């Protein structure tokens, strides 16, 4: 393909200068991303198990299937997708949950069901609607609410946890469940959304709308933490500190639940993101759960509808271009991605490669 140029004549110098058209840079970035995506997809296809899974685990399999689907592969034309979908369907339980009980410690029914529901919804095959409807109902009923003795005053109200016993809700599981429900077209009038907002307020570092004790001595910076009891995985130590993945997750979840971008809660989260924007590290976490952060970040920017972001000091960023550059640079020679910091399973290449492919899919989405 010939490089397009823009000819500019500078009269005072009597010279003609050839400048590259800005569109060429965008094309180069997109080409870079697509090349990386193709290599990542080939890695996933080469490491799929005979039973159609990745790691014989529904959640990781679902993430891999969704990554393939979001990057244009289909059940009809890509055997890896078709095999992965069948593995997911075989993990479906009569009560609507989708998980493996081979290892009780890793069952995590809500987490697995949410990711599997997301994958099935993206297949767009009407044959799977009965499984999808049952999974939706299971997730809705997994939300802590009045039916399980949790009144609205309870810190757990509106949240969703792993589904293991004993269980406690957290923002990571809630955001996955809400995304799965949104992508599978759960009704906007469902009570799951209004209940979720109650929990979201209680994990936001914002004194004006959070009624929990932990926020009274916290920074009030508008970001989000892990759970409503003040638990945070931030490296800052001491008081609960906001961090990147949870703040993106919180904002995305607000928007899914119908909270407008102009709402003070959403604006506070956006201001935190502007003040802590980074593609080189996970804000508040360093290199821990970096790829989980990348894919949550890319999704949130798309849901928010932002093509650029401006820091408080006025610096503007083309987030998709910068994220593409960062992710593609980190890709391994075999097409995979892996985090040197293995916390939160990021030493598993199938999982991290799926996160990376999902992030790139949202970066290149038109």
Digits of tens for pLDDT over the chain (366 positions)? 333 433 333 333 344 444 444 455 678 999 999 999 999 999 999 999 999 999 999 999 999 999 999 999 999 999 999 999 999 999 999 999 999 999 988 999 999 999 999 999 999 999 999 999 999 999 999 999 977 777 999 999 999 999 987 899 999 999 999 999 999 999 888 999 999 999 999 999 999 999 999 999 999 999 999 999 998 988 766 789 999 999 999 999 999 999 999 999 999 999 999 999 999 999 999 999 999 999 999 999 999 999 999 999 999 999 999 999 999 999 999 999 999 999 999 999 999 999 999 999 999 997
d(CA 319, CA 247): 16
Question: Residue 309 corresponds to which tokens in the numbers above?
Answer: 């972001």
> Which of these, 189, 185, 54, lies nearest to 121 by C-alpha position?
185
Dist CA 218 CA 241 (whole Å) = 7
Eight-class DSSP state of 126: G
- CA-only gyration radius of the chain, Å: 22
* Residues contacting 352, CB < 8 A, separation 6+: 291, 336, 337, 338, 339, 346
- Predicted local confidence at residue 282, as pLDDT: 98
Q: Which residues contact 19 (CB under 8 A, 6 or more apart)?
A: 5, 6, 8
Sorted by sequence, the CB contacts under 8 Å of residue 116 that are 6+ apart come out as 58, 59, 61, 62, 88, 91, 92, 98, 99, 135
Supply the DSSP string of 290-305, one letter for each residue. Answer: HHHHHHHHHHHHHHHT
Rounded to whole angstroms, the Cα distance separating 344 from 138 reads 25
Give pLDDT, residue 234. Answer: 85
Position 238 scores a pLDDT of: 72
Q: How many alpha carbons fall within 13 Å on the CB side of residue 169?
A: 26
pLDDT of 218: 94
Place of tokens 């996955």: 176
The per-residue pLDDT for 237 is 66
According to the model, what pLDDT value does residue 9 have? 37
Q: Residue 117 burial by CB count (10 A; 0-12/13-18/19+): exposed, middle or buried?
A: buried
In the prediction, which pLDDT does 146 show?
75
Task: Give the pair of three-digit tokens for residue 62.
Answer: 């679902």
Q: Is 346 left (phi over 0), alpha (psi -120 to 50) or beta?
A: alpha
- Written as one string, the DSSP assignment of 153-222 is TSTTTT----S-SS----HHHHHHHHHHHHHTT--TT-HHHHHHHHHHHHTBS-TTT--SGGGGGS---S
Cα–Cα dist 177/253, whole Å: 10
Nearest Cα neighbor of 62 from 145, 138, 123, 128 is 123
What is the reported pLDDT for 25?
67
Cα separation, 219 vs 207, whole angstroms: 9
Which pLDDT belongs to residue 32? 96
DSSP-derived secondary structure letter, 16: E
**Which residue reads 């997911």 in tokens?**
88
CB 37 within 8 Å of CB 360: yes
| Predicted model pTM | 0.92
């Amino acid at each position: 393909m010939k490089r397009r140029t823009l000819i500019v004549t500078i009269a005072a110098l009597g010279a003609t200068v050839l400048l590259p058209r800005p569109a060429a840079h965008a094309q180069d970035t997109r080409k870079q991303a697509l090349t990386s995506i193709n290599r990542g997809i080939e890695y996933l296809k080469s490491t799929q198990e005979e039973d159609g899974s990745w790691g014989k685990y529904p959640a990781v399999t679902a993430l891999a299937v969704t990554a393939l689907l979001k990057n244009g592969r289909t059940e009809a034309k890509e055997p890896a997708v078709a095999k992965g979908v069948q593995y997911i369907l075989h993990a479906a339980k009569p009560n609507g949950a989708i998980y493996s009980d081979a290892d009780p410690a890793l069952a995590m029914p809500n987490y697995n069901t949410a990711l599997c529901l997301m994958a099935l919804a993206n297949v767009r095959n009407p044959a799977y609607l009965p499984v999808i409807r049952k999974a939706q109902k299971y997730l809705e009923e997994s939300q802590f609410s009045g039916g399980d003795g949790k009144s609205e005053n309870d810190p757990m109200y509106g949240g969703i946890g792993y589904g293991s016993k004993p269980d406690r809700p957290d923002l990571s599981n809630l955001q996955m469940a809400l995304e799965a429900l949104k992508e599978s077209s759960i009704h906007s009038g469902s009570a799951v959304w209004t209940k979720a907002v109650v929990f979201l307020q209680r994990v936001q570092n914002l004194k004006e709308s959070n009624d929990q004790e932990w926020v009274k001595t916290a920074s009030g910076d508008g970001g989000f933490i892990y759970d409503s009891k003040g638990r945070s995985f931030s490296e800052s130590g001491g008081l609960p500190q906001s961090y990147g993945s949870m703040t993106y997750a919180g904002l995305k979840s607000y928007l899914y639940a119908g909270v407008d971008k102009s709402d003070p809660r959403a604006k506070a989260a956006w201001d935190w993101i502007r003040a802590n924007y980074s593609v080189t590290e996970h804000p508040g976490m360093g290199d821990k759960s970096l790829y989980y952060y990348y894919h949550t970040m890319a999704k949130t920017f798309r849901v928010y509808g932002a093509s650029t972001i401006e820091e408080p000091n006025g610096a503007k960023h083309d987030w998709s271009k910068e994220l593409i550059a960062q992710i593609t640079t980190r890709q391994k020679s075999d097409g995979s991605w892996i985090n040197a910091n293995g916390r939160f399973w990021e030493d598993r290449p199938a999982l991290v490669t799926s996160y990376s492919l999902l992030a790139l899919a949202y970066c290149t989405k038109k």
